Amino acid sequence: MAKKTSKIAKISQGDKVLRKLIIFASFITIYFNTNLQDPFNSPKMWIIMCVAGWLLAYLIPIDLFNRILRKNISISKANLFVIFFIISMFLSTIMTDVKYVALFGTEGRRLGFLTYLSLSLIMIAFIKYYSSTSVKLYYSIFVLSLLLLGYGYLQSLGQDFIKWNNPYNSIILTFGNPNFASAMLSILAAILVGASFDVGVKIQVKILMIFTAILMLVIIKNSNSRQGLIAFFIAFLFQICFYLYFKKKIIGRIFLAVAAFIFGLIIMAMLQVGPLVDLIYKKSVSIRGYYWRAAIEMFKSNPLFGVGIDRYGEYFKQYRESSYALTYGFEITSNNAHSVPLQLLATGGIFVGLSYLVLTLYIFYAGIKLILDIDTEHRNHIVAVFSGWIAFQAQSVISIDNIGLTIWGWILGGVILGCYQNRANLIEKDLLISREKISMSENLVRQLTSYLIVVTIVTLCSYPYRGETLALNNRSVYNPAVENNRIQTQKFGLEMVGLKLIDPNYRYWSANYLITSGYEDLGFKVLDNLITSDPRNLNYLNAKAGFLEQRKEYVEAIGLRIKIEQYDPWNARNILNLGRNYKFIENYPAASAALSRIMNFTPDSPISIEAKDLLSNG
């Protein structure tokens, strides 16, 4: 009888953790803060860190030390793959040159080690607690879908209650970009459509879910982001294949072959080949080809640990092809490979890339096996979850991780592994439940531990939070023509100097504001410190070179321009300035050599005409 009571207590605790996690994930997805320089990614990162910190007390056994001494530690294959990914990310973080970026991620992305550690811990929690008899995701997904659908509808009508400074399509939801918005809607729509096949869902609810999914597809279409439609279509094909397979296997297999053929045509169309090019292909896919090839070159040059966690942007111009600069502009750049696997491979190296690939393949394998082997009562639930995960993976191949979106990919993966682990008896959950008694004192210890960890994380995040608000205020008051604004700029600049754990890019903008507002000594001090900490950052180098040229300090500017060319060999504008600087100090042979380089790789461009004029006037 005591065992039965313990089991109920344990299951109750697991369900409570899962319910809270689903609520937290929904909140992370919809939350943004317009009082921050980055209203979307930074607050989502801080919240997900707090959630992961809260989870730690529930993931680590209270008697862990005793278990280690007794060598009574068992780790499931699923958890082993996740831990391998965490360790690989940690090692690459140690090897990354700029530790702030490695930990917190670059501005506007926040895809550093702490984000991926948090995602991994959330997945481990679902692996530990979720089984086919756990609380289903449908209703939480349905509520989240309604919230996002309503906001998307307002944005499509131009009635957004926030006046975003948005260069994209108006449908950005709570992600800041229509591509992320359409991807998220495709995942939710796939799950809702999958739920309509579940016999455990009431018919009235099924109708509402299907109607909601259709409306979300309309919003996706209005966002002009095709990746959402493609991701949904791929997920829906998987659902139909499974549905037909269990009705009549031969029909299911034929449909699966047809679906595989269509999927191949979609991939070909993305590469500008085949009959579906006009339907599928977008110019942005062609641009992604440049990003992917640059990522591959980064990996080939730094195979073990990559170029550094979330440091793609600082290396892109060095590894981009010359045709990219000639086609899209010498100064246009990217800070992400626009493919999650390639981004992790390029920035984290072989161990990070391989561990992510192995984890992904294992989830796919577990999902297929689970669907084929699980009893009919729970099968449709897994099909719905698996199709949502497929939609996530489909878009991640050609897109960027976004915390509010990506958290659901890791949750769905955790759900699949949790159900598979329970079904395969890799960890006998019922046995563990009956053995482990949860006393009031142990619960209290866990709650206090969670509280202390979360308080520590909140304290840590208070520094970048202050940096975010300071950066926004600094930008809003910047006006060199007004004396009072210049004084405010100096005040904010001094605060930036003394603030810890602030994004380096915010210090960079502060340095620019200070120099152009007349506080050159302080501005150059900040800029020099930034260059010392990140000597290959092209923003810092270009800014200082430009300011030195304004002050006619050409010799020092030449040294910076040479460095810039090393890290950005196809930037004709930089080489033109280098040649001009050589002319100012009357080093005509060096000026001629620099300007000739421009005419060699871009002979027909307007900037080449400028180079010829400089040469002819030399």
pLDDT of residue 60: 77
Instruction: Kindly state the DSSP code that residue 397 receives in the 8-state scheme.
Output: T
Which segments within 264-317 are labelled E, that is strand?
Answer: none
**Tokens found for residue 76:** 């499931």
What is the rounded CA–CA span in Å between residue 560 and residue 551? 14
pLDDT of residue 298: 97
What is the rounded CA–CA span in Å between residue 333 and residue 316? 7
User: What letters, b where the CB count within 10 A reaches 16 and e where it falls short, cover 393-405?
Assistant: bbbbbbbbbbbbb
If we measure between CA atoms, which residue out of 344, 366, 380 comes closest to residue 115? 344
pLDDT of residue 609: 86
pLDDT of residue 339: 93
Q: Which amino acid does the sequence have at 504?
A: P
pLDDT of residue 110: 96
pLDDT per 10-residue tile (average), the chain, 618 residues? 40 76 96 95 97 89 51 74 97 97 95 97 92 72 95 94 88 94 97 87 90 96 90 91 83 75 68 62 71 96 97 96 88 93 97 97 94 82 93 93 97 94 54 46 78 93 94 94 94 91 95 95 96 96 96 96 96 94 93 90 85 78
Yes or no: say if 336 and 400 are a contact pair by the CB < 8 Å rule. yes
Which residue segments constitute the domains of the chain, with CATH numbers given?
463-616 (1.25.40.10)
What is the rounded CA–CA span in Å between residue 577 and residue 267? 42
Chain-centre distance for alpha carbon 71: 38
Yes or no: say if 379 and 371 are a contact pair by the CB < 8 Å rule. yes
If we measure between CA atoms, which residue out of 419, 422, 287, 299 comes closest to residue 356? 299
